[in-house]
């Protein structure tokens, strides 16, 4: 079980002092099913949205929803400079499909071309973001939640069998 793996590691005194000094609530670092799966949901949601400073968006949600913040940060980083072009292209193409628009012709990778076609790109991009940000993040949330429950049940069955 993942929780057991985290609990078996010894805590760092400096890290504990930092938490105590800045009065960081324990809910933001707890390792339980609800906290971890919510962190995955929120991190993936913001990770799919094309915007700068996605980690600040994760922090903006913390007063309203309790979740594991480090896990949410790591999920945001799934959209990194290597994966962003593919993700944004996929979202753009999905947005075009949802809006029933044709794609742009004669695409050039120049700043001038992007400035001239920004309005043609941004609307399909953000419309195409909706199914991925909401849908994929929720499906992964459900999957991890279910796998966690199955893991706990197997662990309990093994303990009962002994």
Query: What pLDDT band is residue 11 in, cutting at 50, 70 and 90?
Result: low
Residue-level pLDDT at 130 = 95
Query: In 3D, which of 96, 87, 90, 84 has the Cα closest to residue 120?
Result: 96
Residues 96-105 as b/e (b if ≥16 CB within 10 A, e otherwise) read beeeeeeeee
What's the pLDDT tens digit per position in 103-161?
Answer: 888 877 788 888 888 888 899 999 999 999 999 999 999 999 999 999 999 999 988 88
Helix, strand, or coil (residue 117): coil
Contact 46, 73 (CB under 8 A): no
CB atoms within 10 A of CB 41: 24
Residue-level pLDDT at 117 = 86
Name the domain count of the chain. 1
Residue-level pLDDT at 114 = 84
> Does residue 82 have a pLDDT over 60?
yes
Q: Which domain holds residue 144?
A: 2-161
Query: What pLDDT band is residue 42 in, cutting at 50, 70 and 90?
Result: very high
Residue-level pLDDT at 55 = 93
Contact 134, 45 (CB under 8 A): yes
Retrieve residue 27's tokens: 């809910």
How much is the CA Rg of the chain, to the nearest whole Å? 20
The DSSP code for 151 is H
Chain mean pLDDT for the chain:
87
Q: In the chain, what is the greatest distance between 2 CA atoms, to the nearest angstrom? A: 69
The CA distance from 130 to 126, in Å, is: 7
How large is the average pLDDT for residues 39-54?
94
Q: Within 13 Å of residue 40, how many CA atoms lie on the same side as its CB?
A: 19
């Amino acid at each position: 079980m993942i929780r057991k793996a985290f609990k078996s590691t010894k805590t760092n005194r400096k890290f504990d002092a930092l938490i105590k000094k800045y009065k960081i609530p324990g809910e933001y670092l707890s390792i339980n099913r609800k906290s971890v799966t919510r962190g995955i949901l929120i991190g993936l949601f913001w990770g799919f949205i094309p915007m700068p400073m996605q980690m600040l968006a994760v922090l903006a949600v913390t007063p309203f929803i309790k979740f594991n913040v480090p896990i949410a940060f790591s999920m945001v980083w799934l959209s990194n400079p290597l994966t962003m072009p593919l993700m944004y292209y996929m979202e753009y193409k999905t947005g075009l499909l949802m809006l029933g628009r044709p794609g742009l012709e004669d695409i050039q990778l120049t700043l001038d071309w992007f400035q001239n076609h920004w309005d043609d790109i941004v609307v399909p991009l953000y419309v195409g973001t909706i199914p991925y940000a909401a849908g994929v993040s929720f499906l992964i949330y459900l999957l991890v939640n279910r796998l966690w429950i199955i893991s706990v049940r197997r662990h309990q069955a093994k303990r009962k069998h002994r």
